[in-house]
Structure 1
Amino acid sequence: MQSSEESIVVKRSHSDGSRVSYIKPPISRERTEGELSILKKEFSTDDHTISINELVEKYETDLARGLTRHHAAVLLMKNGPNCLIPPPSKPQWRILAGFLFHGFAGLLWIGAILSFIGYGIAFYDNPNPPKDQLYLATFGFCHESANLAIMDTFKNLIPKMATVIRDGRIIEIPTEELVLGDLVEIKGGDIVPADIRITLCRGVKVDNSPITGESEMQPRSTECTDRDPLETQNLVFYGTHVAEGVGTGIVIACGDDTLMGRIAGLTSSIEPLEMPIKKELRQFNTIISIVAIVTGITGMLVTMTACLTLTAKTMANNNCLVKNLEGIETLGSTNVICSDKTGTLTQNKMTVSHFFYDGFTIDVLGNSEAIQRTVAFKRLCRVAMLCNNAEFKPTQEKIPIHKRELIGDAMDVAILRAMETYIGHTKNYRFERPKIMEIPFNSTNKYQVSIHEILGEKINLIAMKGAPEKIIERCSTYIFEDATIMLTPDKRKELNQVLLNLGYMGERVLGFADFVLPPDTYPLGYPFNTESQNFPLTKLRFLGFISMVDPPRLGVLDAVEKCRSAGIRVIMITGDHPITAVSIAKKVGIISQYNETVYDVALRKDTSASLLTDDDRRQCTAAVITGTELREMPQVELENVLMTYAEIVFARTSPQQKLNIVEALQALGLIVAVTGDGINDSPALRKADIGISMGIMGSDVSKEAADMILLDDNFSSIVTGIEAGRIVFDNLKKSIAYVLTSNVPEIVPFIFFILLGLPRTLSIMSILLIDVGTDLWPAISLAYESAEADIMSRMPRDASIDKLITPKLIAFTYLQIGIIQTCAAYSAYFTTMALNGFFYDKLIGIREEWDSEAVNDLTDSYGESWTYKERMYLQRKGYASYFFAIVITQIADAVIVKTRRLSVFQHGMTNWVLNFGIIFEISLAVFVIYCPFVNYAFEFEPISWYSILPSFPFALLIIFYDEIRRYIIRHYPDGWIAREIDY
């Protein structure tokens, strides 16, 4: 609560003249560690298990009259309004300032300021460092600001008004004025205004996808059907949608105490882990700070920005919208992907997959030719079309059937689409067989009945569909080809086995039956009555089964296989039934065909999974863990399961359980990516190292909580992102290797200047020209480097070992390539000086005389005297030759860092941005050395071609040396030499 703020009492008048008062809720509330740990626990209540009378007594309400206005006002003043209170947030100016002046940026600003002071505004009137830092700060600021909007997206789910019964009168009030014990009315099209226990129900179905992630409509009733509040049918939850029906219920939780409020509080209060690449850059900052090479940071920041931005653009073209640039590399480092099922791995569209009739099960998914159009099939399709409330939207006749939009329940929609495909003209067919009576499906009967006039035959037909076991028990005969046969016990057993097999395939199965009413007893126009039920619902004729499945998306199987090849585990976490989850997991490759779960073992042993012994369960090579099992599982045991089984499916999970799974994986040191589209996924998306939301079906809350959005909702797009992330890390490492290498020949001249007394061989202006001139384009162009051929066959990098900056990288750049570059530069320098009379032995120890303006008779190796002015002219030639040698060897360096393992001859020179960068590098070097006035500004003088000739063998040596190094890494990857030289 806002302890520092004075409580404000809000007074409001209603249209009926009544007034209410309540304390204005705080703008924000910071949750303690204790409160956060409570939010992480499973949602639990006993309000759905106690009797209605006990519930009425607990909340001091009345089933007929509701609360009194006075009592409601007292409760509102005591408990506060029914609304969500967000955690405190930083002012946006502080967020922006944080990104502009954090540790990595601070050194950059200092470097820029020192550059202004030390070298004059003329050369730095538009310095790159601050501009690039503004780019990065803007990206970070936008991402952090978006996080502040998470609670706003939750608030968008809340209805403005609610219908309540108070003092026996039905009134409409603002939702925030609801209190515990209020008697609330709900109807189709409403958003549930609080957590409510159903007391009166007429055909209510709700869409619980905001909290479960599963889009199938759930029937509600007044009966407690499960001790788990998320599974029982007598509760409806805040923010979910009422699809159809009408009902009344008692409010049992408001605002932050609702299930939705807990999810919102958890999502907005979770602090996401620092991304691995952030740690890498912080380490990079520390290392560079120690050696104080500010210009190196300048080039690297530009390179990093370019690399991440270019990759983000490429990923957007491949349906991956990146909200947080640093998340790109994190995805490439991922060890585990925790994927939702519905809509990510599957199409989120129920599709008819099997027909059972005439004793055969026919797979029609992508194989409609298999259908035998017998009399039994036609009778089955007749009931499937008639006992169906789905409808095609009008004016779609010219659109392909699979793309047409329908209105209705998901299963009805799937069946009607199939009927239009296999039979056709369903609208005319139904018109000629009008419905005259219907008993809607309900959770008690578990069937739907409709009666139709068959005008052509002048008869009435009963059509029934529903839960297969309920349909079978109401039938006494079955159809085989064109004959009606008695349904014997053996035949019933056979049907139950078919049903079991379809069930183990994870499919939704409906049974179908019909009954032709005798025309003498039930003539056309007969007054059928659902109340008195003056028609038979037993001794029907069984027609068959139709099963449906939400089929896997195209390409997901291949994507999962690519993940496996890349050393990435894919774990399914879903709110769906475990059998359905396992079936999809097998179809998409999350569970390999040769691995067995408890359901496979049970099917093999012809028993139930719940009856398996411990010895049977030990035969399982893949794990299926339900939410009920997770609830009783200590964290240590969960971590043990995650380490023991490579292939795991979690089913019937809650938002808190999904979060616990992510935290357990992170506790094992794994980098975790989480996909999700529902509000229920948002805590896990927020906690994950990288959260991935769906762009089409994803809720606004999940999109705000995520770091990346899949614009096509397709799991396959994640593989593209993983490859892009790996390319980012590779290319950043290549850029660092390229930039750091030239630091050695830049630093050594100053060491030799002091220790050996050599004249200066490189000027400060030359160093700046290399770092922000000749090196800049090639360094940035490495961001455009394509993936190496083996990039998706490598294991994910170990973030604790394989860092951007490693001792091996330092050894490679400073002690190997850097030393060769230094030798090349000094060879060119000494050649230039020797051609002008100063051999290297003569140069050692003459620093003070060389730099003294008073000495105008310094003799060279031939005894010739040199004035101070002549020496400075020669020194500028030395600068030019040393500088040009660095440029030549940096070109060789750019060629070798293109690949980390493959030969450059295998990888090729296809990066034309780099190729043009090399041309630019040479052109710039020639320009600053040979262009009059420009060369003087950079302290150069023109040199002869043979002055730099000694640097070319060293450039070739660099390429030759690194080819050997990469050959050893490719062919002897496990040898100690390869381990030591692979940076």
Structure 2
Amino acid sequence: MSDAERLVASDPTKTRASFRDLEETESQTGGGWHDITVQDVLDKLAVDPKTGLAAEEAEKRIAFYGKNSLEAEKKTPIYVIFLLQHLNLIIALLMGASLAAIALQEFLEGFAIMGIVTLNNIIATIQEKNASDALDALQKMSSPQCVVLREGRKIMIPSDQLVPGDIVVLATGDVVPADIRLVHSADFKVNEMILTGESEDVLKKFDANVSKSDKLTPDNMVFSSTCVATGNATGVVVETGMSTRVGSIAALLKGSKLTADGKKKNCLRRFMDKYQPKMTPLQHSLHRLGVIMGSVVIGVCVIVFIVGMIRGNKDPKNPDRPIWLNMVMVAVSLAVSAVPEGLPMVVTICLSTGTAEMAQKHVLVRKLAAVESLGASSIICTDKTGTLTEGKMTAVKMWGDSIEYDITGSGFDPTGDIIFDGQSQAATNAQVRATLLSAVLCSNTTLEKETTEDGRVVWTPMGNSSEAPLVVAAAKAGIWRNQVASVFSRVAEVPFSSSRKMMITVNEVPFGSTFEGVHIPLDTRFVANVKGAPNYILDNCIQYVRQDGSIGVLRESDRRSIFSAVDNLSSQALRVLAVAIRPLSQLPYPDSEEDIDKKFDALRKPLIFVGLVASIDPPREGVKGAIQRARDASIRTVMITGDYHKTAVAIAKDIDLLPVGADADMEAVDCAVLRPNGTYLMDHDLDEITSRCSVFARAKPEDKIEIVKSLQRQGYVSAMTGDGVNDAPALKEADIGIAMGIAGTAVAKGASDMILTDDNFCSIVTAVEKGRDIYANIQRFVCFLLSTNFGEITMIFVAIAVGMPKPLEPLQILLLNIFADGMAAVALSFEKGDGSVMSERPRPREQQIIHGRLWIIVLVNAALIASGGLIVFTAGLFWNFDSIMLNDIALEANGALGISRSQTMTFVYLTNMELFRAYTARSFSNSVFKNTFTNKYMQWAAVGSVILTLSVTNIPVVYDKVFGFAKIEWYQWVFSIGIALLMVSMSEVMKAIFRCNDRKMTERQVIQDNFNSAMLELRNLRAHLQRVEEKVDVVVETGLHPYVSAPDSETSASSNSSNSSFASPITTKKTAV
């Protein structure tokens, strides 16, 4: 039964046909209530706009539709987080070895391993527990109260009680409680930044025809969680709860309950989807490493067990133990030696300390594994508004009397000046001051000063965001709206409308005032102040203000000059407003006149043109440098924005996202191209576009997800930044989601892996460098630990295979791996980077943590460790026995003691070998003598290793009863340490060979890079020549004379669209694919 049919059953007074109409509307329009007339919407929802719903009807509908709230998702229980840590394959291997030891009543070894595993999982659980829930954040955004019309009366109800069909009253400052189709509106503007990411207020009108609109949000609808900026409206609720646009985003975050082939997921699959996060590159590498180690352990253990059973090996320390049990314990020894017990804990410690350091650099890490994942990022996908830009419209240019002025300062801070030719014009230029005064008098926005708790001064515009840059610019010239409004009292206002394209206020002029130096008539009692679209205002102008305040006749050449200035400013992605005045000796309409349109007709001409003011959402400080640093590190930066194509390109060029010489036609695209027929292109076509484009304009939330998926298909490790609700799904989809901490919405933070606490794009690049340093450290200690464990298992395997006693007992191996190796590995995790990581390319997505040369380093060092260990162990056996074979030693009276002495020598060798090798492991190529003592943690690890070795081999009871060691002679100490130094020296020889090869590789790489760069430039040049040839062909085919140029459509469109003072003057330029 469909939703519509269930509603029929709940209310028998309604006919089934009427609700099938409702269902058909929902299915055909996909919630597109903007496509039908207001009356059709009201009829479908069965509501009278004058009376609203009856209380009984509202109850029935809420019973059917449910509350107007988002579906809550339960937080992951802490025990689930703890259990999920055990899915790590290395952890599973350790737990298997632990349980095997306990089953064989080797409780000390078993519980020691289990304790280490549990401690690691507790640390990881604590780190993960602080993650917030994205759906909870979305739910908090709902408006708690709203005004509705019920049974002909306006009442206030909780917004979660709204139902489709409710008539809602909206006013300035309200948060829209649901998706609403407007029934009536008056100068109604909504800030949709939370949905679209754009800071500009959007004009909404109930009678808009938007069936063919390509805007992100229809003009005749408002959406849940957006904010009313100005005006008032009434509307009918068409979607509530999870059916709203915010609800759709929440659904994307929550995930589907169906598999890719449409089948329902089973309980286990849903549990894993819900609780198990996507694996990062590091997790993939460690998982693969665990598979390799598990396979090696199982294979070696089986071989050793079979060989031991055939030989009938017995343990002189436990002569009564059955052979099979003895070989099982040998297998456990092999398992313990093969698995790096300290690895999970050292990785966790390394990532945890990395998060602490990142927090000091304004990057708050919500998910531990995201630290190294950011270091692997090869592309950063970022929103424009509020991320690359400040999210604050700022006036940056003025124009008047053929002169262009620069306005300094940024944001809403009134600190700045108006400059021309290096000289301030704020106090002396009559034309400049008159422009700002008139603009302020024709505004309803004020600038408020606040002091935060930490003493910072914050300036906030109260009112229309389009007027904010005008008010701030005027304040820079010392013209404060509150002050001038009290001097020039307002007597009338004609508000802006989409048809008028301008706003007019009439203000009284104090006797004798010259209106900031403008030569107005002496009998002037009022001044009409006008601001709006340049085209519309200039059509009504017959004069203009000169720099000195005199008034001249506006000739046709002057008009062309003004329009040229408008086009020039618009091409820089600036939003241009024109300002004009009309001095009045008396009001041109009766005092009793209330008709706004008649007032407008009486006031709009003849006007005196005063000047132009151009505004932009400025780039954040330092963004240009951050993008260049990312480029130097071979990291692409991609801007995905809801803004128009031309605006996006201009911003991209301003911040060098599109560097000098870049082809905007090739590297910037309108997202409509990605979905030409309402459906997305095939993967290979989409990948072709995303592989070359750095700017994506007019993006919808779904576009961001598709772009991220496309980049991931190409092998990129994607980092996505954002601050609005519209960014949340892409933040979840990306390999690493980064939210803005100050301007970011709660939902963006909840969906992210990291949060920038200072909203500074530069912090991302700093975090990338730190992430790369952390990953390099992880590689160092993983190589260090793996070579140790492979060396140990090789040593034990060879000894058992040839019939020797096992060189180390399980508890001795555990002591070595956890403490001796573990301390050195932890010290390696604190190794400081030298900055060289930012000159390297990002590692490939599929690259494993151990690859190529690193495997050579691991295997060579493992061979050296095993060789030295066998030499020392064999020497120890010969010092105590005439034979090294286990069956011969088992017949000796002091067999157990001799083996203990040999194992002690082997342990001393290994602890010193790992101590010396820890210093060489600090670099894969540099000599051990370069910056030897710069890591203070390494010195503490060395001291700890020495103390450990001396303690467990000399303290009574501990060395013999607990660990099974025995006293050895001084020359045996010297021999063991000497062999360790010899093996480490051989490791240094290997690094010297690497350094020599690296120099040759660097020379070849430089040549290759230069060649690739040249080929890229040639391809771009060929593409450019092809486009030029196509344009020439068009000119030839149209038959245009070579000296007669065709009208520039985009420039003309720019001029025409500049008629709107509250909409971007830039038209979208679609790129054909």
The TM-score with structure 1 as length reference comes to 0.84
- 849, 862, 870: which is aligned to 1:804? 849
Task: Work out whether 1:262 is the aligned partner of 2:286.
Answer: no
242-251 vs 762-771, greater mean Cα deviation:
762-771
Structure 1 letter corresponding to 2:656 = G
Q: CA deviation at 1:57?
A: 3.3
Aligned counterpart, 2:994: 965
Structure 1 letter corresponding to 2:208 = C
Structure 1 letter corresponding to 2:530 = M
What does 1:449-598 correspond to in 2, within 5 Å?
449-457=504-512, 459-482=525-548, 483-518=550-585, 531=596, 532-533=598-599, 535-597=602-664
Deviations 1:764-793 (A, max 9, x none): 443222111211111111111122432112
Aligned counterpart, 1:383: 438
Aligned counterpart, 1:891: 915
Structure 2 letter corresponding to 1:321 = L
Name the SS of the counterpart of 1:926 in structure 2: helix
Contact 1:87-1:269 at 8 Å conserved across structures: no
What does 1:702-721 correspond to in 2, within 5 Å?
702-721=748-767
Name the SS of the counterpart of 1:405 in structure 2: strand
750-759 vs 481-490, greater mean Cα deviation:
750-759
Aligned counterpart, 1:196: 180
Structure 1 letter corresponding to 2:624 = L
Structure 1 letter corresponding to 2:507 = H
In structure 2, the CA distance between the partners of 1:395 and 1:254, relative to structure 1 (3 Å rule), is closer
Contact 1:703-1:709 at 8 Å conserved across structures: yes
Name the SS of the counterpart of 1:545 in structure 2: strand
Q: How far apart are the structure 1 equivalents of 2:634 and 2:449?
A: 49
Contact 1:745-1:818 at 8 Å conserved across structures: yes
Q: How far apart are the structure 1 equivalents of 2:916 and 2:991?
A: 10
Aligned counterpart, 2:725: 679
- 412, 434, 455: which is aligned to 2:489? 434
Deviations 1:216-259 (A, max 9, x none): 22121123254246343211112222223221122222332222
Contact 2:340-2:786 at 8 Å conserved across structures: no
Aligned counterpart, 2:941: 917
Q: How far apart are the structure 1 equivalents of 2:91 and 2:812?
A: 25
What does 1:44-123 correspond to in 2, within 5 Å?
45-68=31-54, 72=58, 75-86=61-72, 93-100=79-86, 103-114=89-100, 117-118=105-106, 120=108
Structure 2 letter corresponding to 1:274 = M
- 788, 792, 803: which is aligned to 1:746? 792
Q: How far apart are the structure 2 equivalents of 1:48 and 1:122?
A: 68
722-731 vs 878-887, greater mean Cα deviation:
878-887
In structure 2, the CA distance between the partners of 1:474 and 1:194, relative to structure 1 (3 Å rule), is same
Aligned counterpart, 1:688: 734
Structure 1 unmatched runs, 5+ = 12-18, 23-38, 598-619, 856-867, 977-983
387-396 vs 191-200, greater mean Cα deviation:
387-396
Aligned counterpart, 1:614: none
Aligned counterpart, 1:941: 967
In structure 2, the CA distance between the partners of 1:450 and 1:563, relative to structure 1 (3 Å rule), is same
Deviations 1:868-896 (A, max 9, x none): 33x65554443333222223332332223
Contact 2:180-2:222 at 8 Å conserved across structures: yes
Structure 2 letter corresponding to 1:569 = R
Q: How far apart are the structure 2 equivalents of 1:929 and 1:817?
A: 26
Name the SS of the counterpart of 1:404 in structure 2: strand
Q: CA deviation at 1:752?
A: 3.6
Q: CA deviation at 1:176?
A: 4.1
In structure 2, the CA distance between the partners of 1:401 and 1:730, relative to structure 1 (3 Å rule), is closer
Q: How far apart are the structure 1 equivalents of 2:777 and 2:391?
A: 37
Task: Work out whether 1:326 is the aligned partner of 2:377.
Answer: no
- 864, 879, 883: which is aligned to 1:820? 864
Q: How far apart are the structure 1 equivalents of 2:470 and 2:446?
A: 11
In structure 2, the CA distance between the partners of 1:441 and 1:769, relative to structure 1 (3 Å rule), is same
Q: How far apart are the structure 2 equivalents of 1:646 and 1:578?
A: 16
Deviations 1:336-381 (A, max 9, x none): 2110111111112222211112212223335844343422112112
Name the SS of the counterpart of 1:462 in structure 2: strand
Name the SS of the counterpart of 1:248 in structure 2: strand
Q: CA deviation at 1:933?
A: 4.6
Contact 1:622-1:645 at 8 Å conserved across structures: no
Deviations 1:403-429 (A, max 9, x none): 433322233222222222233555434
Structure 2 unmatched runs, 5+ = 15-25, 257-272, 298-334, 410-415, 514-524, 1006-1073
Q: CA deviation at 1:314?
A: 0.8
In structure 2, the CA distance between the partners of 1:756 and 1:74, relative to structure 1 (3 Å rule), is closer
Q: How far apart are the structure 2 equivalents of 1:972 and 1:125?
A: 44
Contact 2:82-2:121 at 8 Å conserved across structures: no
Q: How far apart are the structure 2 equivalents of 1:435 and 1:237?
A: 34
Q: How far apart are the structure 1 equivalents of 2:862 and 2:110?
A: 32
- 672, 695, 713: which is aligned to 1:667? 713
- 90, 107, 120: which is aligned to 1:132? 120
Deviations 1:77-114 (A, max 9, x none): 55444443356887665454334566553333344445
Q: How far apart are the structure 2 equivalents of 1:280 and 1:748?
A: 23
The TM-score with structure 2 as length reference comes to 0.77
Deviations 1:914-956 (A, max 9, x none): 2321232233223333445544344132332532324323222
Contact 1:100-1:137 at 8 Å conserved across structures: no
In structure 2, the CA distance between the partners of 1:515 and 1:397, relative to structure 1 (3 Å rule), is farther
Contact 1:198-1:234 at 8 Å conserved across structures: yes
Task: Work out whether 1:311 is the aligned partner of 2:299.
Answer: no
- 207, 211, 216: which is aligned to 2:195? 211
Q: CA deviation at 1:495?
A: 1.5
Q: How far apart are the structure 2 equivalents of 1:82 and 1:429?
A: 46
Contact 1:827-1:951 at 8 Å conserved across structures: no
In structure 2, the CA distance between the partners of 1:644 and 1:745, relative to structure 1 (3 Å rule), is closer
790-799 vs 293-302, greater mean Cα deviation:
293-302
Name the SS of the counterpart of 1:775 in structure 2: helix
417-426 vs 915-924, greater mean Cα deviation:
417-426
- 841, 847, 866: which is aligned to 2:886? 847
Contact 1:392-1:404 at 8 Å conserved across structures: yes
What does 1:829-844 correspond to in 2, within 5 Å?
829=873, 836=879, 843-844=883-884
Structure 1 letter corresponding to 2:149 = I
Q: How far apart are the structure 1 equivalents of 2:687 and 2:714?
A: 12
Contact 2:381-2:720 at 8 Å conserved across structures: yes
Q: How far apart are the structure 1 equivalents of 2:85 and 2:811?
A: 31
Q: How far apart are the structure 2 equivalents of 1:876 and 1:327?
A: 46
Deviations 1:293-346 (A, max 9, x none): 446342101111101101111111111111111111111112221101111111
Root-mean-square deviation (CA, aligned residues, Å) is 3.7
Aligned counterpart, 1:358: 401
624-633 vs 663-672, greater mean Cα deviation:
624-633
Contact 1:115-1:124 at 8 Å conserved across structures: no
Aligned counterpart, 1:26: none
Contact 1:42-1:631 at 8 Å conserved across structures: no
What does 1:244-283 correspond to in 2, within 5 Å?
244-269=230-255, 273-283=278-288
Contact 2:70-2:241 at 8 Å conserved across structures: yes
Q: How far apart are the structure 1 equivalents of 2:65 and 2:813?
A: 68
Name the SS of the counterpart of 1:328 in structure 2: helix
Name the SS of the counterpart of 1:127 in structure 2: helix
Structure 2 letter corresponding to 1:353 = V
400-409 vs 367-376, greater mean Cα deviation:
400-409
Q: How far apart are the structure 1 equivalents of 2:921 and 2:209?
A: 64
444-453 vs 825-834, greater mean Cα deviation:
825-834
In structure 2, the CA distance between the partners of 1:179 and 1:755, relative to structure 1 (3 Å rule), is closer
In structure 2, the CA distance between the partners of 1:970 and 1:552, relative to structure 1 (3 Å rule), is farther
Deviations 1:251-275 (A, max 9, x none): 2223322222211111212666432
Task: Work out whether 1:291 is the aligned partner of 2:317.
Answer: no
In structure 2, the CA distance between the partners of 1:59 and 1:404, relative to structure 1 (3 Å rule), is closer
